[in-house]
């Protein structure tokens, strides 16, 4: 009897262990598929003009999501909705829901500032502040109350390293950021966004003002950044979307036409309009 | 104005080039089969000599495809069009090699060999000619229904080939002195069978173009 019971206990232990393992496995899979944004039935109007129609799109975590589409298709509007920057236009109205890490971004419980701290943004034209390289990066952390020089030094170095520009500027941190090339300025802006430790980086055509080599540097950087951050990039350069993104969304006239794995979308899209657009046979 | 007119035009030109190559290859087989039947060693030699023209056309097409990929950066169907252009051209070049091989058999047999050409050769070749036409339609129209037909036609060739080989084996048993000639006959049948397999490959390539995934028509 005793032996039997012992045996049973052992069996139970084994089975519990197995279960734990399975749970762990499922958890890690879930983490891999986690969405940083869940957008449901999003509509957006500028006054009476509707700019986005019933957008349903989940943005995956730690991936690069590209948004492509012709001018005026709503891709930048969509991007700016994710950190509520679009609300800076006073006549904007929205309906539908956007959840960031499961929480409604429009809820009164959360501040816009809090959201924008977690969801940083890099713009089309490099827009460093007319300050030293160091102060550009330290600006955000200082606003958030970081005062100690040693901590700021650490943040500045880490951010510049993460933005793959540390080696180019480490000996001239006190020089004005305007003295840098366009490509370097853009990476400074990326470093500035990283300094406040965001989760998500929104990029609105970040390389459209850069030369091809600077563009490739930023593209390489994006590939590195996705290990730590989720990236959403609006680009007019379809080859860029094809090169750097994991998933691609095609917008047209305010509608999300197709959202698929980039490999699939550029090799065998499901929608004829996507095919026409990516193969340059539009209009 | 429609966008990428120039690129579309280049794609059409490429199509025309491939069609022309397919015609050349078909003609090579037509002449090779005639030469075999007519014991025309001179014509057979001509086929072998002219094969380099087909190789050169293949090179020109491959070069054009490479330039178009580099300059136009095609995606989706356009990219598949260019990928299959290379593959189809490669198949056509191999098909021409089989016409050349049949011509070599004609030369081996010589003008005074004692055997009659097995009727299966002509029958298989006729189906193969039809297959080239069908493949051309499939290619020009990008229509997979023609590609499916190719698979059926290839089955007919395989069946005729099997039957012919069995008959040739019997003949070798009863006429051991003719083995060297009968072997050349069997080789020729084999070359036509391989020729047809390449056309079936072309059918698969057109399937890939239209559907975006691979498909085995030989299954």
Report pLDDT for B147.
Answer: 87
H helices within chain A, ranges in order?
2-32, 75-82, 112-118, 133-143, 149-162, 166-169, 182-194, 212-225, 238-244, 262-267, 272-278
Is B135 inside any structural domain? yes
Residue B219 burial (CB count, 10 A):
5
Q: What's the mean pLDDT in B196-203? A: 96
CA distance B74 to chain A (A): 6
Is A22 inside any structural domain? no
Q: Which pair of tokens denotes residue A259?
A: 């959202």
Q: What's the mean pLDDT in B65-72? A: 94
Write down the ipTM of this complex.
Answer: 0.78
| Full residue range of the structural domain in which residue B134 is found | 5-211
Is the Cβ of B213 closer than 8 Å to some Cβ of chain A? Answer: yes
Phi-psi category of residue B40: left, alpha or beta, with phi > 0 → left and psi -120 to 50 → alpha: beta
Residue A71 burial (CB count, 10 A):
7
Number of residues in chain B: 219
Number of domains chain A is built from: 1
**B chain contacts of residue A268, beta-carbon cutoff 8 Å:** 76, 212-213
Is A176 inside any structural domain? no
| Full residue range of the structural domain in which residue A243 is found | 35-105+112-127+199-278
Is B96 inside any structural domain? yes
Of B3, B76, B212, the CB nearest to A278: B76
Report pLDDT for B219.
Answer: 60
H helices within A70-126, ranges in order?
75-82, 112-118
What's the pTM value of the predicted model, to 2 decimals? 0.82
pLDDT tens for B180-196 read 999 999 999 999 999 99
* Mode of pairing for the β-strands spanning A230-234 and A200-204: parallel
Is A182 inside any structural domain? no
CB contact under 8 A, B74 and A239: no
Q: Which pair of tokens denotes residue A16?
A: 């519990």
Is B200 inside any structural domain? yes
Is A240 inside any structural domain? yes
Residue B14: its H or E element:
helix B5-38
CB contact under 8 A, A267 and B212: yes
Is A168 inside any structural domain? no
Of B2, B78, B213, the CB nearest to A279: B78
**B chain contacts of residue A275, beta-carbon cutoff 8 Å:** 76-77
CB contact under 8 A, A268 and B213: yes
CA angle B90, B95, B98 (to 5 degrees): 135
Whether A70 contacts A278, CB under 8 Å? no
Is the Cβ of B79 closer than 8 Å to some Cβ of chain A? Answer: yes
Of B3, B75, B77, the CB nearest to A242: B75
Q: What is the 3-state secondary structure (H, E, C) of B67-134?
A: HHHHHHCCCHHHHHHHHHHHHHHHHHHHHHHHHHHHHHHHHHHCCCCCCCCCHHHHHHHHHHHHHHHH
CB contact under 8 A, A267 and B75: yes
pLDDT tens for B98-156 read 999 999 999 999 998 888 999 999 999 999 999 999 999 999 999 999 988 999 999 99
**B chain contacts of residue A276, beta-carbon cutoff 8 Å:** none
Is A54 inside any structural domain? yes
Report pLDDT for A253.
Answer: 96
Is A60 inside any structural domain? yes
**B chain contacts of residue A260, beta-carbon cutoff 8 Å:** none
Residue B187: its H or E element:
helix B179-211
Report pLDDT for A27.
Answer: 40
CA distance A279 to chain B (A): 6
Report pLDDT for A108.
Answer: 87
Number of separate helices (H) and strands (E) present in chain A: 11, 10
**A chain contacts of residue B3, beta-carbon cutoff 8 Å:** 280-283
Q: What CATH number does the domain containing A81 carry?
A: 3.40.50.300
Report pLDDT for A32.
Answer: 58
Residue in this structure with the two tokens 């094969």, named with its chain if needed: B51
Number of domains chain B is built from: 1
Of B3, B73, B212, the CB nearest to A282: B3
Report pLDDT for B213.
Answer: 85
Report pLDDT for A15.
Answer: 40
Is the Cβ of B2 closer than 8 Å to some Cβ of chain A? Answer: yes
Is the Cβ of B70 closer than 8 Å to some Cβ of chain A? Answer: no
CB contact under 8 A, A268 and B3: no
Is A41 inside any structural domain? yes
**B chain contacts of residue A238, beta-carbon cutoff 8 Å:** 75
**Number of inter-chain CB pairs under 8 A, A vs B:** 33
Q: How confident is the model at residue B48 (pLDDT cuts 50, 70, 90)?
A: very high
């Amino acid at each position: 009897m005793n032996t039997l019971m012992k045996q049973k206990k052992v069996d139970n232990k084994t089975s519990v262990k197995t279960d734990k393992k399975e749970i762990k496995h499922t958890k890690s899979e879930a983490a891999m598929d986690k969405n940083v944004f869940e957008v449901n039935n999003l509509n957006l109007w500028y006054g009476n003009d509707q700019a986005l129609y019933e957008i349903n799109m989940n943005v995956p975590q730690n991936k690069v999501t590209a948004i492509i589409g012709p001018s005026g298709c709503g891709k930048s509007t969509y991007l700016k909705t994710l950190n509520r920057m679009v609300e800076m236009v006073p006549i904007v109205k929205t309906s539908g829901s956007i959840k960031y890490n499961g929480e409604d971004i429009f809820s009164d419980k959360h501040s816009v500032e809090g959201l924008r701290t977690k969801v940083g943004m890099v713009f089309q034209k490099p827009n460093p502040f007319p300050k030293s390289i160091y102060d550009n990066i330290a600006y955000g952390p200082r606003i958030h109350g970081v005062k100690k020089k040693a901590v700021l030094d650490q943040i500045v170095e880490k951010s510049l390293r993460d933005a793959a520009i540390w080696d180019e500027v480490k000996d001239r941190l006190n020089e004005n950021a305007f003295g840098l090339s366009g490509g370097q300025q853009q990476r400074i802006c990326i470093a500035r966004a990283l300094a406040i430790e965001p989760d998500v980086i929104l990029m609105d055509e970040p390389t459209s003002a850069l030369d091809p080599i600077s563009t490739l540097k930023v593209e390489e950087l994006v590939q590195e950044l996705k290990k730590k951050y989720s990236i959403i990039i609006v680009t007019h350069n379809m080859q860029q979307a094809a090169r750097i993104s994991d998933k691609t969304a095609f917008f047209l006239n305010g509608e999300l036409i197709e959202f698929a794995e980039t490999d699939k979308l550029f090799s065998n899209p499901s929608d004829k309009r996507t095919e026409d657009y990516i193969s340059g046979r539009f209009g | 104005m429609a966008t990428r007119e120039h690129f579309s035009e280049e794609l059409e030109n490429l199509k025309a080039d491939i069609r022309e190559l397919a015609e050349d290859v078909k003609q090579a087989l037509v002449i090779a089969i005639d030469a075999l039947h007519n014991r025309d060693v001179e014509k057979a030699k001509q086929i072998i000599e002219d094969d380099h023209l087909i190789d050169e056309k293949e090179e020109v097409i491959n070069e054009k495809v490479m330039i178009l990929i580099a300059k136009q950066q095609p995606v989706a169907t356009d990219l598949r069009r260019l990928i299959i252009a290379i593959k189809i051209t490669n198949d056509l070049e191999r098909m021409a090699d089989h016409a050349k091989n049949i011509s070599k058999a004609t030369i081996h047999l010589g003008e005074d060999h004692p055997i009659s050409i097995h009727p299966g050769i002509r029958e298989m070749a006729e189906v193969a000619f039809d297959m080239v036409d069908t493949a051309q339609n499939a290619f020009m129209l990008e229509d997979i229904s023609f590609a499916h037909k190719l698979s059926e036609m290839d089955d007919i060739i395989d069946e005729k080939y099997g039957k012919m080989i069995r008959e040739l084996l019997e003949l070798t048993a009863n006429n051991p002195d003719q083995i060297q000639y009968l072997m050349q006959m069997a080789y020729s049948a084999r070359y036509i069978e391989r020729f047809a397999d390449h056309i079936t490959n072309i059918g698969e390539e057109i399937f890939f173009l239209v559907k975006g995934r691979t498909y085995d028509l030989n299954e």
